[in-house]
Amino acid sequence: MTGSRSPDRLLGRAGVSGNPDRDQHFLVDERVLDRLPTYLPDDADRSHVLEIGGGTGALTDRLLATSDRVTVIERDPDLAAFLRREFGDERTAGRLTVIEGDALERDLPADATASVSNLPYGVSSEITFRLLPLGVPTVLMFQREFAERMAAEPGTSEYGRLSVSAGHYAAVEVVEPVPATAFSPPPAVESAVVRTTPRDPDYEVADEAFFLRFVKAVFTQRRKTVRNAIRNTAHISGLSDPDAVVAAADEATMSKRAGDLSPDDFAALAGLALEHGVGTDG
């Protein structure tokens, strides 16, 4: 079952044409729109789907056709008002909630069971790391370069902090490249759809916030050896004694670069850093 509203007609009824300066690129390719909800895992709970950046409602329409209930967060006041008018019947039936505001500032619904969204690219990273800790499957549209970095494997040029941090919460897959022509107006970049499926990592960390901060710190100097990266980024990771961490770690690990460490390696190294490099005030 798919939605029945034409993306082009929705744009016309809303009286908008998109604004690249405001990161507004409306997805208008009906084939892509129809496929997006289908990328959720087969066993996904579709009882309450969260959409970030509803725009004129082309994706909202498809989500309503495939889900029990939808919540949309839209930061543009005029578009939020349009969504309330356009989907008045669905709102009255209790199947749609429209929240006006910035998804980085508004509370996300605690009972959301999945998220399918065409994210504003300028804040896609920040929004993603609000969604992933919810522990629900997501289908998200990103700039293609961002998507490939998010799903990258150790040892590849795309692998980095984003790969490790996203993989800490979920299995990440790029499921479809999307050309610029699928949007109105077309962005200056190619796009891609990413599916994330929640999972527990195959390693343990004693302090998740420290682990993520440590990964961020080491990757800021990815061209240096891990030894030098740890020493040079103590102000980011919060280490009071980075030399003690270097001394406690094995030489082989210290001689590598960040891009060669697996998530398991980072977890083990973060554990050493907590044990040896963080003072009582850390």
pLDDT digits (tens, 9 = 90+) for 127-183: 999 999 999 999 999 999 999 999 999 999 999 999 999 999 999 999 999 999 999
Residue range 38-62: mean pLDDT, rounded = 97
pTM of the model: 0.93
Give the pLDDT score at 280.
Answer: 46
Q: How far is it, in rounded angstroms, from Cα 148 to Cα 264?
A: 20
Residues 6+ away with beta carbon under 8 Å from 251: none
Residue range 207-230: mean pLDDT, rounded = 96
Q: How far is it, in rounded angstroms, from Cα 83 to Cα 72?
A: 9
Give the pLDDT score at 137.
Answer: 98
Instruction: Indicate the pLDDT class of residue 267, thresholds 50, 70 and 90.
Output: very high
Q: Identify the residue with better confidence: 49 or 21.
A: 49
Q: How far is it, in rounded angstroms, from Cα 130 to Cα 160?
A: 19
Cis check: omega of the bond before 177, within 30 degrees of 0: no
Q: How far is it, in rounded angstroms, from Cα 27 to Cα 207?
A: 39
Q: How far is it, in rounded angstroms, from Cα 119 to Cα 19?
A: 15
> What is the tens place of the pLDDT at every residue in 79-136?
999 999 999 999 999 999 999 999 999 999 999 999 999 998 889 999 999 999 999 9
Give the pLDDT score at 282.
Answer: 40
Give the pLDDT score at 2.
Answer: 65
Task: Measure the N-to-C terminal CA separation of the chain; round to a whole number of Å.
Answer: 53
Residue range 201-220: mean pLDDT, rounded = 96
Phi, psi (deg, nearest 5) at residue 142: -130, 165
The per-residue pLDDT of the chain, averaged, comes to 95
Q: Is the pLDDT of residue 24 over 90?
A: no
Q: Is the pLDDT of residue 281 over 70?
A: no
Instruction: Indicate the pLDDT class of residue 1, thresholds 50, 70 and 90.
Output: low
Give the pLDDT score at 128.
Answer: 97
